Amino acid sequence: MYLHPHEGFDNSPLALRHIEALPLAAAMGAEIRGVDLTAVTGAQFAEIEQSLFRHKMIFFRNTRMDHAAHHAISRRFGE
């Protein structure tokens, strides 16, 4: 997984179908909305990962997860 931009940096919104990613600043970062992190579908996770690559930092506000759910979603990003 590469998180460093290869060319010019672009933090503009992506056209997504399964989640919403709102850029937080001109430089980097986005808030992810419209997803229950305890029941993420494959399509939602693909867009979360795409948003991470695009925005370099993502935030999920007001999430309620126990330790097991947090561990499960974290593992989907890799070891």
* pLDDT tens digits, one per residue of 10-37: 788 888 999 999 998 877 899 999 999 9
Domain contains 6: no
pTM, 2 dp = 0.82
Task: Quote the pLDDT of residue 31.
Answer: 95
Amino acid present at 60:
F
* Confidence grade of residue 7 (pLDDT, cut at 50, 70, 90): low
Range of the domain at 65: 20-75
Q: Is residue 44 part of a domain?
A: yes
As for how many domains the chain has, the answer is 1
C-alpha 67 chain-centroid distance: 19
Within-domain flag for 60: yes
Q: 38 and 69 in contact (C-beta within 8 Å)? A: yes
Pair 36, 63: CB distance under 8 Å: no
Token pair for 79: 């070891």
**54 part of a folded domain:** yes
Task: Give the separation between CA 37 and CA 34, rounded to whole angstroms.
Answer: 10
Residue whose tokens read 């919104």: 13
